[in-house]
Structures are given as structure tokens and as C-alpha cells.
Structure 1
Amino acid sequence: MSYDLFPDLEGPSVDDLAEIEQEMPLIEAEVLLLDAQITILSAEPAPSDLDWQRVRRAQRRVLREARALLAARATSPTAAVA
């Protein structure tokens, strides 16, 4: 049995979902970076070279995905509206 606690609220619109879908590669890259940073912080006795390489790789991926998202938004027809 499910209860609708907020029956008057609407969910995200189709445009909202499309925007979230467009941002997913960046979100996934940020999650991987966070995971790599947690590994560094919890490494015993010390982080390995491979751990640091993983952080650097994740940082580069975040930057790459952020650039791609900004480029996609700059060329989209709704960029001037937003």
C-alpha cells in the first residue's frame, strides 16, 4: 500500500528530466572523484601511487564532463532563455 503524501505537487517536467539526463555524465564523474578522495582519506597506512593516480584521473574526467556540458548548453537553442 502506498500513500501519496503530497497529492497536489507535480513531479519534474519533461524539460527538467531532459536537463538532469544531460547532466548525468558530470554527476557520475563527480561521484567517482568523491569515491577516489574517500579512498585517499581512508588509506592505511598511506595512499598508494595508484590511489593518487585514480584521484587525478577522476579530476580530469570531471573537468572534461563539465566542459562538455557547458559546450552543449552554449550551442543549445534554449541557452539564451536560461
Structure 2
Amino acid sequence: MHDDLKSADSLSQLGAHHSNSHAKVLAWDNNDLLITSLNWLSASAPNNLVEIYHEIGVYVQGWDVAKDFIKVFRSLD
């Protein structure tokens, strides 16, 4: 089901060892995953939609989605 994640160009750059990675990933339990560009401790997310430095994020909920993401992420090494 998640084998296609390996071939996705945007996800193949998420390895912590890649200096060009900007993604921040938060996974809790096996079914919840948040992927964002927001620097949680050093940035704010403005409400202004025309802000040029707007951050983006996606929340994914599904059976074992966090567990599967971590498995694929670790295999990218």
C-alpha cells in the first residue's frame, strides 16, 4: 500500500541525513502523522494569506499510517 512513497520525489528527500530537508514530522500512536515545513520553536504561522513566507503542513490519519511512514522513511537511507 505504501510502496509508492519510496518513489515520490517529494518524500525521498525527507531523510534526516539530507541537508536539503525542510520537513518536520510528528507521529504519535500508529495512526496519526503530521508533516510540515513550520519550524515549531522559531517561527510563527501568520493568519495573513498573502504572507510570502507561509508555511505548509498536512495531517494524515489512517490505520498504521505513522507506523508505515516511519518504516519507509528509515528505508530511504
Compute the TM-score of the two structures, normalised by the length of structure 2: 0.25
Higher helix fraction (1 or 2): 1
Higher strand fraction (1 or 2): 2
Compute the TM-score of the two structures, normalised by the length of structure 1: 0.24
**Higher RCO structure, 1 or 2 (CA under 8 Å, sep 6+):** 2
